[in-house]
Amino acid sequence: MSDELRNSKVGVSWVNNGPVSITAYCCSSIIMTIVNKFVVNLKNFNMNFVMLFVQCLVCCALLVVLKGLNYAKFRNLNKQDVKKWLPINFLLVAMIYTGSKSLQFLPVPIYTIFKNLTIILIAYGEVLFFGGKVTSMELGSFLIMVLSSVVATIGDNQAKQNLGKRLVEKAATVAADKSSPIAKVAEEAAFNIGYLWMLANCVSSALFVLVMRMRIKLTNFKDFDTMFYNNAVALPILLLSSFILEDWSPENIQVNLTRESVIAMVVSGMFSVGISYCSGWCVRVTSSTTYSMVGALNKLPIALAGMVFFDAPKNFLSILSIFLGFLAGIIYTQAKQKKAKEQKPIETKLPSSNKD
């Protein structure tokens, strides 16, 4: 009996362990970013909502299978919980759609660096909604994050300008006019709409994390509940958005839903199970700011993987921006540890002062 109790305690401590949840979230987010980048970069792919619908559908199907095998427990869909969770799903759809569009137009290193700006929005959102505070050391890490984003933008623009110059020179040698494909690509190199998608993604991501934290407390959802409702309630929203905003002509379907793209979408959906579970798990056992800041610490391997697997800018400024983002993550981690030590004496006094 004592062995069973000991094993039970070990299991509970593992489930509520912050570092374990953080490690799992890091690994799943790295894999998910790379797989999503592969999907949206498939030739002529333009049905992002369909990709997200398939991901959520695969995730729900796997959860149902796990529940049938007694590996997962979660609530069935009910009207009351769906109404409470619906605002989160609209934010989730906005977050993952703007994220996929950002990945479509931006290199992986630039995308991962700009995700750091979400942390600043979340930190001040916690000050506004949960009575938190931002220390001077945390503020310093935020300033380095902004600096890394500025350096990354300059490095990306530098690479784009070099590309534009090469294309213009090539166009001149073949006597191409302004309507030629080469000239058009050179013109597009001047501005990348991916930055606007990235701004929308930062705002929607911050709102999603903050509102989810509120709703988890309101509904008392566990990890699998959060995961199932995030994906199941999003399905009709994604499908309706696809029918309204995307091209469902037979020609476009034939171009987008190839064997290669469908397999890639299913695989990305399987990996989304990991990121969905780990997101809810990490928010529950840590804090929403810590959850988002962990992403800053794993920006280095994500960005380097993007440089290895995809055609990302490889210049001094791009590499410098990656390490600045990583440095910001380390400083923030130290700031959080320092804040936790300062708050510990206060927390230990709380039970003795509450003797009603």
User: In terms of Cα–Cα distance, which of 283, 271, 306 is closest to 209?
Assistant: 283
Give the number of C-alpha atoms closer than 13 A to the C-alpha of residue 137, restricted to the C-beta side.
Answer: 12
Token couple for 346: 């206060």
Q: pLDDT at residue 57 above 90?
A: yes
* Range picked from 169-178, 232-241, 345-354 for highest mean pLDDT: 232-241
For the question of whether the overall pTM of this predicted structure is more than 0.75, the answer is no
Burial class (CB in 10 A: 0-12, 13-18, 19+), 297: middle
Token couple for 301: 């391997």
To 10 degrees, the CA torsion angle through 280, 286, 291, 294? -130
Q: Coil, strand, or helix at residue 276?
A: helix
Identify the pLDDT of residue 162.
61
For 310-329, what is the mean pLDDT? 75
For 310-323, what is the mean pLDDT? 72
Which of 31-40, 98-107, 123-132, 163-172 is predicted least confidently? 163-172
Q: Note the pLDDT tens digit of each residue in 165-224.
A: 554 555 555 444 444 444 444 444 445 788 899 999 999 999 988 888 888 777 788 778
User: In terms of Cα–Cα distance, which of 292, 322, 271, 317 is closest to 112?
Assistant: 322
Identify the pLDDT of residue 323.
82
Cβ atoms of 196 and 109 within 8 Å: the answer is no
What confidence category does residue 61 fall into, taking pLDDT thresholds of 50, 70 and 90? very high
The number of residues making up the chain comes to: 356
Percent of the chain with pLDDT over 70: 72
Cβ atoms of 134 and 215 within 8 Å: the answer is no
Give the number of C-alpha atoms closer than 13 A to the C-alpha of residue 214, restricted to the C-beta side.
Answer: 14
Identify the pLDDT of residue 221.
80
